[in-house]
Homo-oligomer: A and B are copies of this chain.
Amino acid sequence: MVDLLPLVDHHCHGVVRERLDRAAFESLLCEAAAPGRWHGRLFDTQVGFAVRRLCAPVLGLEAHAAPDEYLDRRAELGVDEVTRRLLAAAGIAEFLVDTGFLQGALTTPDELAAFSGGAAHEVVRLESVAEDVISGHNAAAFAPTCRARLVAASRTAIAFKSIAAYRVGLGLEADRPSDAAVFTAAARWSAEVAAGKPVRLHDETLVRFLIWTAVDLGLPIQFHVGLGDADTDLHRADPLLLMPLLRATADRNVPIMLLHNYPFHRHAGYLAQVFDHVFVDVGLALQNVGGGGAARVLAELLELAPIGSVLFSTDGCGLPELFHVAAVRFRRALAVVLDAESAEGNWSRADARRAARMIAGGNAHRAYRLGPSAPPTD
């Protein structure tokens, strides 16, 4: 039953349309930047095994095909055909696409959705907007220009996203910063940019300004939480650090989406229980932790997280393989967890089916106001 549910992927990126050599392919497989001299090939990871197991048959190969055989077949079919096959097999009906990362190198939301006949919605990355604004405006114009850009974005985008975890950590102050504080911080940043430093937002006040501006606009706000590449200071990406901000936004009618969360997914489950406006997933993790790991991690999230708070995402980026592996592993993990509770008699079968529908897409429909959904009623 879970195999047939259309999924809402509430957080992903586009895919690369160029042909990739083996090193480039491996560098997009997991959070390692590239294969190195010590660990050997990156196919020797859970996600590497999963690609060979799950994607090879979709391309017409035996399961567990060797890496070079897989890449040869991939080249033979061409990236578009590979993407079409893998996205179709994933069974994802809607994609919410973060367009603020690797712009230009990845497909647009519409291109992505076209591969599978699904629908696409844009998620606007707050820090990218600010970085674009600071490059072309003086400090005095920074705040109003950002505000205007976000207002405009809110008319077409489905949500905002913050990568505060990467830049300043999640230990944000709770309050909206004053106009004076924003101006001072913008002036400092503007001076750095004028002096030739890379245009990279890493100021806590400005990040907070962006978040509160987004809160005013009423769209859901996604936060990168937990694992990412070596650029994250992972101990500053613990969602518990967000508690002051979550308290401050609890009555603002704005859903806050905590993405990934691993290895802090139990912390995220706790937050989803005590804050009604918090939604959680274990995206990115599920395709990376192996088959047994996926069921374990999802089960751990479902310890405390209310059924109505759990979402599906792939965080697929670059490789269409990641969407397919994420979807298969998510479906399998969800079935394992629900079957176990049903088999023990802890949940009724009807409750299990209803929970599956909510997690696969109903909750996302409700939180993002995506239209027809399965509401969490009796």
**A residues near B, CB below 8 A?**
30-33, 35-42, 44-46, 49-50, 53, 63-64, 66-68, 227, 229-230, 233-235, 238, 240-241, 243-244, 246-247, 250, 253, 255, 262-263, 266-267, 270, 272-277, 279, 285, 288-293, 296-297, 299-300, 302-304, 306-309, 337, 340-341, 344-348, 350-351, 355, 358, 366-367, 375-378
Contacts and interface: CB of A to CB of B under 8 A. Distances in A.
Copies of this protein in the assembly total: 3
Nearest to A309: B39
A274 B33 contact: yes
B263 A266 contact: yes
A53 B347 contact: yes
A299 B308 CA distance: 28
A332 B235 CA distance: 32
Given A292-B299, A351-B64, A276 B38 contact: yes
A25 B367 CA distance: 25
A303 B307 CA distance: 25
A290 B346 contact: yes
A229 to B, nearest CB: 6
A62 to B, nearest CB: 10
A44 B376 contact: yes
A180 B205 CA distance: 36
A283 B266 CA distance: 16
B234 A240 contact: yes
Contact of A308 (B39, B50, B263, B292): B39
A337 B292 contact: yes
B240 A235 contact: yes
Contact of A303 (B39, B247, B288, B346): B288
B276 A288 contact: no
A115 to B, nearest CB: 26
Nearest to A276: B36
Nearest to A62: B348
Contacts of A247: 230
